[in-house]
C-alpha cells in the first residue's frame, strides 16, 4: 500500500441542501455540479439527498487536497459517478486531475434521513 497524503471529511444537512436548491436552483447546480451529476440527481426520488452526497464528496476532496476552494480545486473538476454496483466513484478533470495524477483517491459516502457524510483518503501510488 502507498502512504496516505490527505484525508478529508464533510457532513451535509439534508434540509439545508434542500433549502439551498430551492433558493438558488439552477444557478447553484450549474456552479457546483457537472451535467452528468445533475441529470443523475434529478432522475432520483428525493434528488436533494443525491445532490447533498455529491456536494459532501467534493468538499471532502478539497479538504483532503488541502487547497480548500482555491489553487487546483474547482467544483466541476470533481465528479461523483456510480459503479454498476452502486458504489460511488470519483472522476477528476483539469487541475484536480493533474494534482491527483500520482494518487489513488478513495471515497466513502453514508447517510441518514437528515445527514450525509463523505470521507476521502488520498493515497500516494507506489
Between CA 119 and CA 108 the distance in angstroms is 5
Cα(31)–Cα(74) distance, rounded to whole angstroms?
10
Note the Cα 82 to chain centre separation in Å.
12
C-alpha 34 chain-centroid distance = 11
Task: Express each pLDDT in 28-57 by its tens digit.
Answer: 999 999 999 999 999 999 999 999 999 999
Res 1: pLDDT: 63
Q: Sign of the C-alpha dihedral, residues 101, 119, 28, 80?
A: positive
**Per-10-residue mean pLDDT, the chain, length 126:** 90 96 93 96 95 97 82 90 94 94 96 96 92
CATH number for the 4-124 domain, one of 3.90.470.20, 3.40.50.300, 1.10.150.120, 1.20.120.1200? Answer: 3.90.470.20
- State residue 71's pLDDT score: 72
Domain boundaries, the chain: 4-124
Say what the pLDDT of residue 70 is.
65
pLDDT at 125: 87
Amino acid at each position: 500500500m502507498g502512504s496516505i497524503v490527505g484525508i478529508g471529511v464533510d457532513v451535509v444537512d439534508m434540509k439545508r441542501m434542500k433549502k439551498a436548491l430551492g433558493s438558488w436552483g439552477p444557478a447553484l447546480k450549474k456552479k457546483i455540479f457537472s451535467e452528468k451529476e445533475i441529470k443523475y440527481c434529478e432522475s432520483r426520488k428525493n434528488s436533494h439527498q443525491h445532490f447533498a452526497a455529491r456536494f459532501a464528496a467534493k468538499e471532502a476532496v478539497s479538504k483532503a487536497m488541502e487547497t480548500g476552494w482555491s489553487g487546483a480545486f474547482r467544483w466541476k473538476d470533481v465528479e461523483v459517478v456510480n459503479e454498476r454496483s452502486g458504489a460511488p466513484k470519483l472522476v477528476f478533470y483539469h487541475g484536480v486531475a493533474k494534482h491527483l495524477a500520482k494518487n489513488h483517491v478513495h471515497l466513502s459516502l453514508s447517510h441518514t434521513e437528515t445527514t450525509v457524510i463523505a470521507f476521502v483518503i488520498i493515497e500516494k501510488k507506489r
